Structure 1
Amino acid sequence: MQEIKQIYHNNLGTAFYWRKDNGLVLDKVQLVFREMGFYFTQQELHLFKRYIEDSYIQNKSCDDCELKNKCHKFLLKTPCSQIDLAVSMEELDAVKDLVEGTLFKINLDNYLYGEGMN
C-alpha cells in the first residue's frame, strides 16, 4: 500500500497527502522541493502563494539583468517565520507552478468530489 497520494508535481518537486490508518490526512499537504519538505495547511499554502507573488514584485527591477534567471539572490519568505529561501528566478517560477498547481488540484477535487457531486 502506498503511504502517500500525490496531488501535483513538476520538475522541481512534488506535493502529496500522507496516508494514515487506511485514510488520507487531508488537513495538511506535504510539499517537497530542493531537498526540503514543508508540511502546510491549505491556508499556509495560500500564504506561501502570496509570498511568491510578493517576491516577483520586489524583484521586478532585475528584468534587464542577464543573470536574473541563475543567481540566488532572491529571498522567498515561507509560512514558517524562521525560514526564508534563497532562490533563482527559475526556481521561483517552478515553486510558483508547484504551489499554484497544488492549490488548483485541491480545489478541483473539492468541487468534483464535494459540492459538485449530484
Structure 2
Amino acid sequence: MNEMKQIYYNDAGTSFFWRKENEILSDKIQMIFRETGFYFSRQELKHFRCCIDESYALNKCCEECELKNDCHKFLLKTPCSQIDLAVSMKELKSIKDLVEGTLFKIDLDEYLYGEGMN
C-alpha cells in the first residue's frame, strides 16, 4: 500500500500528502529537505514562501561573489517561531523551488480536478 501521494520534488527534497486508509489527507503537506521534515497547512506553506522571499531579499547583497552560493550561511525563518534553518543561498534557492513548486502543483490539481472540470 502506498502511504503517500507525492506532490513535488527536486534536489533539495520532496513534498507529499499522507494517505490513511486509501484516503489522501490533503489538509497538511509533509515537506522534507535535508534531514528536516515539516508538516505544514497550506497557509503555513504560503507563510514559509514569504519567509523565503524576505530572507532572499536580505541576503542577496553579495551576488557578485562566486563563493556566496556555497559558503555563506544565514538564518531562514520558518512558520514555526521556535525553528530557524541555517542555509546557504544555493540551498535557499532549492527550498524556494520546492515550496513554490509544491504550491503550484496543489493549485493546478485543484483547478484541473475541481472547478476546471466541465
CA-CA distance at 1:72 after TM superposition: 4.4
CA-CA distance at 1:61 after TM superposition: 1.3
Give yes or no for the alignment of 1:44 onto 2:44. yes
Kept in 2: contact 1:72–1:86 (CA 8 A): no
Larger deviation, residues 54-63 vs 98-107 = 54-63
Unaligned runs of 5+ in 2: none
Distance 1:102 1:54, change over 3 A: same
Distance 1:59 1:18 in 2: 34
Q: In structure 1, what is the equivalent of residue 58 of structure 2?
A: 58
Q: In structure 1, what is the equivalent of residue 3 of structure 2?
A: 3
Larger deviation, residues 61-70 vs 84-93 = 61-70
Larger deviation, residues 63-72 vs 49-58 = 63-72
Distance 1:26 1:54 in 2: 27
Distance 2:61 2:43 in 1: 29
Matches within 5 A, 1:1-118: 1-118=1-118
Q: Secondary structure at the match of 2:29?
A: strand
Q: Which runs of 4+ in 1 moved over 6 A?
A: none
Return the letter of the residue paired with 1:82: Q
Unaligned runs of 5+ in 1: none
Return the letter of the residue paired with 1:50: C
CA-CA distance at 1:22 after TM superposition: 1.6
Kept in 2: contact 1:10–1:98 (CA 8 A): yes
Distance 2:24 2:60 in 1: 40
Q: CA RMSD in A?
A: 0.9
TM-score w.r.t. length of structure 1: 0.96
Fraction of identical pairs, as percent: 69
Q: Secondary structure at the match of 2:61?
A: helix
Kept in 1: contact 2:9–2:15 (CA 8 A): yes
Kept in 1: contact 2:73–2:89 (CA 8 A): no
